[in-house]
Amino acid sequence: MLYLDQPVQVGLSYDTLHHITNNLYTGEIEMLDDSDHVPEQNATFLVGTYPSGDSNKTSLGTENAAIALWHFAQSWFQEFPQYHPNDGRISLATESYGGRYGPGFVSFFERQNMRIENGSFTDDDGEMYILNLDTLMIINGCIDRPTQWPSYPQIAFNNTYGIEAVNASIHEAMLHDLNKPGGCLDKIADCRALVPEYDPENIGINATVNQICSDAETYCTEHVRDPYLLYSGRNYYDMATLDPDPFPAPFYEGFLNQEHVQVALGVPLNWTQSSEAVSDAFRGIGDYVRPGWLEDLAYLLDNGIKVTLAYGDRDFACNWIGGEAVSLAINFSSTEDFHSAGYAPIQANSSYQGGLVRQYGNLSFSRVFEAGHEIPSYQPETAYRIFTRALFNKDIATGEESTYSNGAAYKSSGLADTWSVKNEQPAQPLQFCYTLDSATCTEDQLESVLNGTAVIDHYIVVDKNSTQLFPQLLGGRGTSYGNGSSASATPSASVVPATGGSAFLKPSTALLLVAFGTALVTTRS
SS (H, E, C) 442-459: CHHHHHHHHCCCCEEECC
Contact yes or no for 358/325 (Cβ under 8 A): no
Give every CB contact of residue 396 below 8 A, 6+ residues apart in sequence: 308, 346, 357, 359, 364, 366, 385, 386, 389, 390, 412
Could you give the C-alpha distances from 329 to 335, 473, 514, in angstroms and in order? 8, 49, 25
Is 96 noted as a catalytic residue in this protein? yes
Strand 455-457 relative to strand 353-360, pairing = unpaired
> What is the distance between the alpha carbons of residues 413 and 340, in angstroms, rounded to a whole number?
9
Q: What is the mean pLDDT of residues 399-410?
A: 95
Is the peptide bond between 7 and the residue preceding it cis, with omega within 30 degrees of 0?
yes
Q: Identify which of 443, 439, 382, 474 has the alpha carbon closest to the alpha carbon of residue 241.
A: 439
Q: Could you tell me what percent of the chain has a pLDDT over 70? A: 90
Band (87; pLDDT cuts 50, 70, 90) = confident
Is 84 noted as a catalytic residue in this protein? no
- Residue 517 pLDDT > 70, yes or no? no
- Residue 505 pLDDT > 50, yes or no? no
Q: Identify which of 415, 487, 491 has the alpha carbon closest to the alpha carbon of residue 460.
A: 491
Band (121; pLDDT cuts 50, 70, 90) = confident
Q: Classify residue 253 as exposed, middle or buried by CB count within 10 Å of its CB (0-12, 13-18, 19+).
A: buried
Band (483; pLDDT cuts 50, 70, 90) = low
Band (490; pLDDT cuts 50, 70, 90) = very low
Catalytic pick from 315, 395, 437, 463?
Answer: 315
Catalytic pick from 13, 55, 91, 96?
Answer: 96
pLDDT per position as a tens digit, 302-313: 999 999 999 999
Is 373 noted as a catalytic residue in this protein? yes
* SS3 state at 474: coil
Give every CB contact of residue 511 below 8 A, 6+ residues apart in sequence: 24, 27, 273, 274, 437, 438, 439
Q: Classify residue 87 as exposed, middle or buried by CB count within 10 Å of its CB (0-12, 13-18, 19+).
A: exposed
Q: Classify residue 351 as exposed, middle or buried by CB count within 10 Å of its CB (0-12, 13-18, 19+).
A: exposed
Catalytic pick from 373, 437, 457, 466?
Answer: 373
Residue 192: per-residue pLDDT: 98
pLDDT per position as a tens digit, 360-370: 999 999 999 99
Contact yes or no for 103/133 (Cβ under 8 A): no
